Structure 1
C-alpha cells in the first residue's frame, strides 16, 4: 500500500454533548464547516480531546457515521478515528465498521490496563487489528502521558516494518524529539509522522514535521497557520512570538482544570459543545467568568478560529 503523508492542521474535535451528557450529533455538519473555514485538512475523532475512552462502542459508531456522512464528498478532508486500545475485539469491530462507513483511516493506542510488556507485543496488537482492514491506513497513537506505554517509536517502526502493509504512521504526542527525528528518517521517511503537541509545534517544524494533530486547532487554527507561514519564510522571531501566544493560551487549560477548558474556548468562538463526562471535571460558572477575563488578556479574538458564514450551530 502506498503511504500518503498528510499535511497541515488536523483538528482533534471535541465530542458535542447535550446537557444530559448524550451525544449532540446535529452539531457535526456545522463543526465540519467550522474546521474547513479555518483551513484544517482533517479531523482526528474520538481521541483524547473527543473523549473516546468515555464513549460506548455504539456511540463511537454514531460519531464515525456522523463525520463520514458530512465529509464523504470531500476528498481533501481526511477523517480518522481512534478505535480504542484496551479491548482488541472491540477495536477490530470498530475498525471494520469504520472501513465500511468509508472513513479515511483508523488509529489505535496501546492497551493501558494490561500494558504490553515489550514493543514486540505492542506490534502484535497493532497487526491483530490492522490485518482485519487491509488497504485501510492504520496509525499508532503514541501518547505515553495518558496510556503509560513509552516505548521509543523508532523501535515500533522497526518491529512492524514489512509485517503490516497498511501501517501508515504515528500520531506522535510526546516530547522526545530525538525519537521523533529518527522516525522521520526511518527508511527515507517511509512513514507518516503527525506531530501532536501544539505547544511545541515550532520545534517540530524545525525537526521536519509537515502535519500535525491538535486540540487547539479547533479554536485557534489561524494562529498556527501564521506560525507555519512565518517559519516557512525563515522569520523565526515572528514564529517564536506566535508559539509563545500558543503557550500562553494552552497554559489556561492547566489553570482552569485541564482538557475540559477546551470546550470553554469553543464556547467563546460560538460553538457550544456541552461539557465533558466524568471523571473529567467541568468548569464552574464562576470560573468561566474568570476564564473569559484571562482570555481577553491574550487578545484571543485576533487569532481565534472564525465561524462559517451564514450558518448557525444547532
Structure 2
C-alpha cells in the first residue's frame, strides 16, 4: 500500500506535470543559464521585495548559446567520470590487448573488434583485478569478488550458503519493516531524524526529549511513547529515567521505574540490539540488575509489533494468574 501511494501515484503526478508544462520549465531553465543564475522573473520578485516599484531591466540571454554550453559541460562531466575508471599500470596481457582496441573503451566497440562476448571481457577484467595485474584510478562501485578455494562445493557448504543467504534476507526484511514502521508512526522530519539517529547508535542521552506522552511527560523515542502510554492506560504508576543508586555511589537510569502492588520494577527497552557497543553496554547493565535488583528487571525489544508485546508484559503483571 505504501509502495503504491508513493512510487506509482506520486511519480505519475510528476510525469503528468512535466508533460503539461515542459516547454515552460525548459524556457525558465535556459533563461536562468541552466540553473546557474537568476531568471528575469526571480530578479523582478527580489526587486519588489526590496521596495522597488519599477520594472527591472535584464539582458536577454542567448538560449542557443546557453543550451550549447550546457551540453558541452555535460559531455565533459561524462568524460571525467568515464576516465576515472580507466585502468592504470596494466600488466595483464589479455587486458592490455582489449584496452588497445579502442580509445573510448566502449564495450560494444571492444566486443566488435575483439570478437569476444561480454562474459569473456568481464572475465578478463576481473581476472586482472583479483590477480593484482591492474590498478584502478577509482574503485569499482558495488562489486563482489569471490576467491575460489575449491573446485566444487559439497552439500554442507551449499547448505551453509543457503542458510547465510536466508539470514541476510531476513535481516534486510526486518530493516525494511522497521523503516516502514518509522514512516507510518513519525509525525514530522525531526522525529524521523531522531529515530534514525537512535537506530544508528547515537547514545540515548544525546537525543532530545521530543515526544509527549498521554501522561504529559516527554520521552526520547516513539517506542518509549508506546510503552509510557500503555502504562498510563492501564493505570500503572511510572517515572521516566529516574536515577537508581547501587553499590558504592554508582547510579543508572532505567527507562521506566514502575510500581505495581507496592513493588518496584525497572523497565528497559532495548532499541538497538545488534550494535556491538550497545550490546556490550547492555551486558554490563544487565549484570548490575542481576546483582543488585534480582527479579525486578522488565525488558522489551524494538520491533514493529511493540504495542502488542508491551501490552502483553503489562497484562502479565496485572493478572499473573491468567498467564
TM-score (norm 2): 0.22
Q: Which has the higher contact order (CA 8 A, sep 6+)?
A: 1
The structure number with the bigger radius of gyration is 2
Q: Which one has a larger percent helix, Structure 1 or Structure 2?
A: 2
